[in-house]
Amino acid sequence: MRISELSAASGVPLPTVKYYLREGLLPAGERTARNQAEYGPEHLARLRLIRALVEVGRLSVADVHAVLAASDNPRLPLNDVLGAAHDAVTRRAAPNRGEPAWNDARALVLDMAKQRGWQVHEQHCAALEQAADAVAAVVATDMPELYPLIDVYFEAVEPMARREVEAVLSMGSEDQIVRGVVIGTVLGESLLNALRLLAQQSVSTELLEGGEAGEATGA
Amino acid sequence: MRISELSAASGVPLPTVKYYLREGLLPAGERTARNQAEYGPEHLARLRLIRALVEVGRLSVADVHAVLAASDNPRLPLNDVLGAAHDAVTRRAAPNRGEPAWNDARALVLDMAKQRGWQVHEQHCAALEQAADAVAAVVATDMPELYPLIDVYFEAVEPMARREVEAVLSMGSEDQIVRGVVIGTVLGESLLNALRLLAQQSVSTELLEGGEAGEATGA
């Protein structure tokens, strides 16, 4: 198909498609004339992937670049692709990293993970550091009522992560698995967060307004 | 305390504290001399809250403003404060909203929520729309292996949301509850996401490398 058809099929505006081509996010089409190139279904799939990462996953173009570069590299072990996807969604560090309160928070998270038998790569682990950022911030706001939720989150993510990794590993070819890791990490996070809010709204409606569906929602 | 002490106690740089004062995020101190004002513990608590929302929750200053304005309004029902906090973390909409595929995704999410007895406010529900964005994006990437995860996320958030809302409601005064909603929504999301990644790393290490702690992490 031509670039205008690629734009129409993907829903991505033509100037944006051209921008992705210039930035190297989207590989060039096959040149058929001086000013014309032909794009295939693999371009459409790639464009949909970029669109999902940018629009739903809210990644910057630079982050999409890093994630796609990792997933395009056939020699990179799967865990490193996962690492690149994780880095993209955990980009920003709180500036109090390394302070005593932050170190305490990191030690607490690490300890709770180890007690559950989790295998944590302690060095430069973006997820561990982001967890420490959040725990340190909760502690700094002085709301002890929220501390038990740390364990609630640990409890919730354990079976979830297992199902996620198993789903992605079931995808067959290495290529598919890598795409699954990227999509699953970024879009899964967005969906999980949205459903959490939806469930919170339901529970708070029930508890605050004594809604009729209360019995049906009992956990 | 003086503004320099406020800066030191909170870890927020002095120019940033002044910026928050100018933007009205932080209320003015009590003027004690022509060029001097006195700040109390409530200013410190507020500054820590702003810092957590900006640095860990990654909210923009405009979003922090909206959330704090909602939580400062004593006449606003608690569910509306929750709504403002939810809006702040679900800001950006995918541009395909309203297209048939997006409408299908929204209907699917709504249907699954209703089957679980959730009470959903269907009109202008930011969480429902973000969930539809993510589901539509997963469907567009054509990876049916990931579909069962939608149900996995529904399953995981149900008990979590109940514990979260109960924890916040246990905080006593209306003031504390409102602060708890804001903190819990924003920082809870950040922590949940980080722990999900940490658990994924552990499970994929176990499944890909056959790590020794495999038995201990069995879900």
The one-letter amino acid at A157: V
Interface contact flag, A133 B170, Cβ < 8 Å? no
Residue B181 CB neighbour total at 10 angstroms: 28
Query: Hey, is the C-beta of B107 within 8 angstroms of any chain A C-beta?
Result: no
Tell me: do B26 and B87 sit in the same domain.
Answer: no
pLDDT at res. A180: 81
Tell me: do B24 and B118 sit in the same domain.
Answer: no
Distance from CA of B211 to the nearest CA of A (A): 8
- Residue A1: inside a domain, yes or no? yes
Tell me: do B18 and B70 sit in the same domain.
Answer: no
Which residues on chain B are in Cβ contact (under 8 Å) with A48? 140-141
Interface contact flag, A203 B162, Cβ < 8 Å? yes
- Mean pLDDT computed over A21-47: 90
- Residue B111: inside a domain, yes or no? yes
Query: Which one of B47, B51, B92, B203 would you mutate to disrupt binding with A, by most A Cβ within 10 Å of its Cβ?
Result: B203
* pLDDT digits 0-9 by tens, A141-174: 778 888 999 999 999 999 999 999 999 888 877 7
Would the pLDDT of B212 be above 70? no
- Residue A152 · residue B187 · CB < 8 Å: no
Query: Hey, is the C-beta of A145 within 8 angstroms of any chain B C-beta?
Result: yes
Tell me: do B51 and B141 sit in the same domain.
Answer: no
Interface contact flag, A134 B202, Cβ < 8 Å? no
A144 secondary structure, DSSP code: G
DSSP-derived secondary structure for A2-13: -HHHHHHHHT--
* pLDDT digits 0-9 by tens, B88-98: 777 666 667 88
With bands split at pLDDT 50, 70 and 90, how would you rate the model's confidence at A219? very low
- Domain with B32, as residue range(s), is 1-56
> B39 vs B186, which has greater pLDDT?
B39
- Residue A45: inside a domain, yes or no? yes
Beta strand residue intervals within B11-153, DSSP E: 30-33, 36-38
Tell me: do B41 and B100 sit in the same domain.
Answer: no
Distance between CA atoms of B147 and B48, rounded to whole angstroms? Answer: 40
Interface contact flag, B143 A180, Cβ < 8 Å? yes
* pLDDT digits 0-9 by tens, B122-159: 887 888 988 998 898 888 777 888 899 999 999 999 99
- Residue B109 · residue B100 · CB < 8 Å: no
Tell me: do B101 and B137 sit in the same domain.
Answer: yes
The beta-carbon neighbor of A201 closest among B82, B152, B189 is B82
Tell me: do B95 and B171 sit in the same domain.
Answer: yes
> Mean pLDDT for chain B?
84
* pLDDT digits 0-9 by tens, B5-58: 999 988 888 999 999 999 888 999 999 988 889 999 889 888 888 887 887 777
Global pTM exceeds 0.90: no
Tell me: do B30 and B135 sit in the same domain.
Answer: no
Distance between CA atoms of B3 and A112, rounded to whole angstroms? Answer: 38
pLDDT at res. B40: 92
Structure tokens, B159: 């008990």
Q: Where are the alpha helices (DSSP H) in A11-125?
A: 14-22, 41-51, 61-72, 78-89, 100-115
- Residue A123: inside a domain, yes or no? no
- Residue B218: inside a domain, yes or no? no
- Residue A17: inside a domain, yes or no? yes
pLDDT at res. A91: 62
Query: Hey, is the C-beta of B16 within 8 angstroms of any chain A C-beta?
Result: no
Distance from CA of A75 to the nearest CA of B (A): 16
Interface contact flag, B142 A51, Cβ < 8 Å? no
* pLDDT digits 0-9 by tens, A60-111: 888 888 888 877 777 777 677 777 777 777 766 666 788 898 999 999 999 9
Distance between CA atoms of A167 and A169, rounded to whole angstroms? Answer: 6
Interface contact flag, B58 A92, Cβ < 8 Å? yes
pLDDT at res. B106: 95
Distance between CA atoms of A154 and A108, rounded to whole angstroms? Answer: 12
Tell me: do B119 and B139 sit in the same domain.
Answer: yes
- Residue A14: inside a domain, yes or no? yes
- Residue A185 · residue A85 · CB < 8 Å: yes
Would the pLDDT of A218 be above 70? no
* CATH code, domain carrying A2: 1.10.1660.10
Interface contact flag, B198 A128, Cβ < 8 Å? yes
Which residues on chain B are in Cβ contact (under 8 Å) with A122? none
Tell me: do B51 and B90 sit in the same domain.
Answer: no
- Residue A112: inside a domain, yes or no? no
Tell me: do B98 and B138 sit in the same domain.
Answer: yes
Q: Number of folded domains in chain A?
A: 1
- Residue B157 · residue A156 · CB < 8 Å: yes
Tell me: do B49 and B96 sit in the same domain.
Answer: no
ipTM over 0.85: no
